[in-house]
Structure 1
Amino acid sequence: MNKYFLLILLSAIVSTTYAAKVDTISVHSASMNKEVKTVVIRPDLYNKKETYPVLYLLHGYSGSYKDWVNKAPALKKLVDYYGYMVVCPDGGYGSWYWDSPLDPSYAYETFVAKELVSYIDNNFSTVATKAGRAITGLSMGGHGALSLAFKHQDIYGAAGSTSGGVDFRPFPKNWEIEKRIGSYAENEQLWDKLVVQNLVHLLVPKSLEIIIDCGNEDFFYNVNIALHEKFLNRNIKHTFVQMPGGHNWEYWQKSITYQLDFFAKFFSNRVLQK
């Protein structure tokens, strides 16, 4: 999709009246022994006689479950336009979507990849297979989405990242990372093990469809370029988008349109043609 067509598409969507259903629910996490707030966005024509693919959409560091629906107004219209569900869980303050070895109240890998998926499939009318599931997110959530998808290829069929923190080692003192996995100086092997670049070996050929994007003024731009090049070197098929922009909502309001279009095509190819 070129940027001019994207602008035309986005203008058409925004100018059309839709009424996506937005609910905030509490999902119990047995692994963390707490309730986790989650936004569920369903297309206006949602009905229980049909089944719907689901995109799990993760927020960034210091954000919350409310970020995407409040700060990217086009999201609700995009859900109606494409006709699949979007689920935005709370990922805690600086969880990085790991099961922290230091803090049992931060088991967000287990929550997002297992408990949340199970809850959504049991309480909504979903396509309850990997053909009907995708995951993406921004910044910390971009790291989380790719990390979770690479480690749980039986759960997700497609994965993405926008402005993703796909290698956080250049920033060893930032974003609560030390609180979750210890300092880089004392836990270098663990840090190396957890970055997305070092999870690429887990990918099974043709198991995941992947999109990554990043603004060329973003402080994560270089690590995203490095991930893109690693994919190329390993002949891993993926979509890579680079656009003008920084690490901010102005950029993410644009990038979510690319992302949702990508996942719509994935769902169409995997679900609707069966």
Structure 2
Amino acid sequence: MKKIISHIILLLLAFNVSAANVDTLVVFSKSMNKEIKNVVITPNSYKKNGNAFSVVYLLHGAGGDHKAWLGKSPDIKTYADQYNVVLVCPDGQKTSWYFDSPIDKTMQYETYISKELITEIDKKYNTIANKEHRAITGYSMGGHGALYLAFKHPDIWGVAASMSGGVDIRPFPLKWDIEKRLGVYAENPEVWEQNTVINLVHLLNGKNLKFLFDCGVDDFFYDANLRLHKKLLERNIPHDYIERPGGHTNNYWNNSIKYQMLFFSEFFKNTNNE
């Protein structure tokens, strides 16, 4: 009897394991003249010639690479199956900040992700190639990157999110190699002002992008996120904002992505019903 029970438990566990497929896609970036690796996770239901899929882009934080999300949140593989979406995790270099650097031509990650990568993903995978079925999010540096790219390119992403995002880089002039991407703050203040998320709110009209951002109240980016929230309220820009206990940790991000995937899924469903 014990053996039978054990077999039943093993079978149940087997059925609960994600059936999503994890691939590595290498894309040549013309803007940077180099090859870049990207993790692509397709759901078990994925078929090259079947129904097309919505796509969620996941950006990593400083120090990470294309495999970072698999380590931070192994559950993302199950979300590909649960929500029937394709997940794309690009390598944004350790500290690219997802800018097109005006001083380093080897760091053109805005162009790479918003143009080159999306073109390749839509070419090689069975995707719904429009903004209504394309989402982007990230943690920390990736949270900045997700909102930065979505605010600047609302024609590409219909929905976006950020968790623990560095949405105002100006208080950190000596951190995370930002000065290597934009120049020293004291010498290039206008470049920093033009490339911090909190100063890109003027690009939003309240209709061209649906977005969510959250941050733990113990996070060193909490103040910046709260200020962004208040600025959006002042401008009457619709958005979802969440703050909860927690710091700049894997546990926080692993919890946060659950809510954000639901947010994206609801957006995709509502788009289908329109």
Shared fold per TM-score greater than 0.5? yes
**Larger of the two Rg values belongs to structure:** 2
Kindly report which structure 2 residues correspond to 1:43-122, keeping only aligned pairs within 5 A, or say none: 43-48=43-48, 49-122=50-123
Asked if 1:124 corresponds to 2:121, the answer is no
Code of the aligned partner of 1:32: M
Deviations 1:117-169, CA, capped at 9 Å, x for gaps: 00000010001000011111111111111111111111110111000000011
Code of the aligned partner of 2:23: D
Partner in structure 2 of residue 259 of structure 1? 260
Code of the aligned partner of 1:252: W
Deviations 1:196-231, CA, capped at 9 Å, x for gaps: 111010113311000001011100000000001111
Structure 1 runs not aligned, ≥5 long:
1-13
Q: Figure out how many residues of one structure are paired with residues of the other and give that number.
A: 261
Counterpart Cα distance in 2 of 1:236 and 1:205: 5
Counterpart Cα distance in 2 of 1:169 and 1:154: 27
Kindly report which structure 2 residues correspond to 1:21-32, keeping only aligned pairs within 5 A, or say none: 21-32=21-32
* Conserved 8 A contact 2:72-2:253: no
Kindly report which structure 2 residues correspond to 1:215-234, keeping only aligned pairs within 5 A, or say none: 215-234=216-235
Query: Using a 3 Å threshold, how does the CA distance of structure 1 residues 15 and 234 change in structure 2: closer, same or farther?
Result: farther
Counterpart Cα distance in 1 of 2:68 and 2:97: 16
Q: Structure 1 residue 15: deviation in Å?
A: 8.7
TM-score by length of structure 2 reads 0.93
Asked if 1:39 corresponds to 2:25, the answer is no
Partner in structure 1 of residue 8 of structure 2? none
Q: Structure 1 residue 71: deviation in Å?
A: 2.2
Structure 2 runs not aligned, ≥5 long:
1-13
TM-score by length of structure 1 reads 0.93
Kindly report which structure 2 residues correspond to 1:147-162, keeping only aligned pairs within 5 A, or say none: 147-162=148-163
Code of the aligned partner of 1:237: P
Counterpart Cα distance in 2 of 1:195 and 1:70: 28
Code of the aligned partner of 2:17: T
Counterpart Cα distance in 1 of 2:66 and 2:15: 26
* Conserved 8 A contact 2:205-2:237: no
Counterpart Cα distance in 2 of 1:165 and 1:60: 10
Code of the aligned partner of 1:207: N
Code of the aligned partner of 2:67: K
**Paired-residue identity, %:** 53
Partner in structure 2 of residue 189 of structure 1? 190
Code of the aligned partner of 1:152: H
